[in-house]
A and B are shown apart, each in its own frame.
Chain A
């Protein structure tokens, strides 16, 4: 049976979809059969980050409403043959998801895949609740700023309340990814450090992704940063995937090399 991993954050724009895409690609390249599902109903995004937007015929709501078979909606990534993708629907009807139908879809996917990666929408409304409902694990993404950390804290506080696993007396495994860290600013005391964020959110860390301008260009081109071997962010995502598989992998060393004068005067 597959495991459901929900990528969530509370605040929008902190890198949920980028993490969902790259974690999915990375796990697929580690020989796991993966399906990434965009749960941001109405605001489809994961398709473009994965570079699969031109291959969409059916979406997740079509599957749930029985307008197509599951296999018709699954898009197989040609670069990562173990990776499949189901796009979000673009309906503006927020109440289109139905708990029983979501459950049926997830149960079906669990039979065929090792990992089901759910890209949750921002906010704490219905879409978020559906994406967390059947999660085995939740990865909470936060950037090191007050709004993102505050929203992450709020989300962490309600994950268990919305989860079937917690209702059954079990616990959703939760981790934090600190995204878009600018080490230079941290060293100057102008950005919350990873330690600061962790001391506030009190969850285990599963990865630190440095700020990386190449993410923008890779998104422009529709090729996940995973494939860019020169990018530090790419390396960070690869390590997150290995940690998700239970491997102990050291955190990336982001320390800037410093000369004597810089050390003295900052």
Chain B
């Protein structure tokens, strides 16, 4: 930081904005990547459930917090 900026205060530089935006975005994307088997799991589940009933769509979400990793599976049936 130059003397000028130190005295008069500077507006946020674009590089630090870039870093903040990236950090936030990548935290989300890495969480999604933490379960690389999602697509395979979805396919297998589809096969199993189709033995019993008609499946419309399967929606799997992964959630993480400090204590627990969780998969939330939503199965929509077709009428």
Binding site for B on A (CB under 8 A): 145-146, 149-150, 153-154, 157-158, 161, 186, 188-193, 196, 199-200, 263-266
Contacts and interface: CB of A to CB of B under 8 A. Distances in A.
B16 A189 contact: yes
Contacts of B19: 192, 196, 199-200
A218 to B, nearest CB: 29
Given A150-B26, A153-B26, A266 B15 contact: no
A247 to B, nearest CB: 31
Interface stretch (B1-9, B41-49, B64-72): B1-9
Given A190-B13, A191-B15, A200-B26, 4 more contacts: A157-B33, A186-B15, A192-B15, A265-B2
Contact of B2 (A158, A190, A264): A264
Interface residues of B, number: 19
Q: Is the contact region of chain B dominated by helix, strand, or loop, or is it mixed? A: helix
B27 to A, nearest CB: 10
Contacts of A191: 15
Contacts of A190: 13-15
B29 A153 contact: yes
B51 interface: no
A7 to B, nearest CB: 22
A161 B16 CA distance: 32
A266 B13 CA distance: 13
Contacts of B22: 146, 149-150, 200
A40 to B, nearest CB: 24
A265 B3 contact: yes
A145 B18 contact: yes
A163 to B, nearest CB: 13
Contacts of B53: none
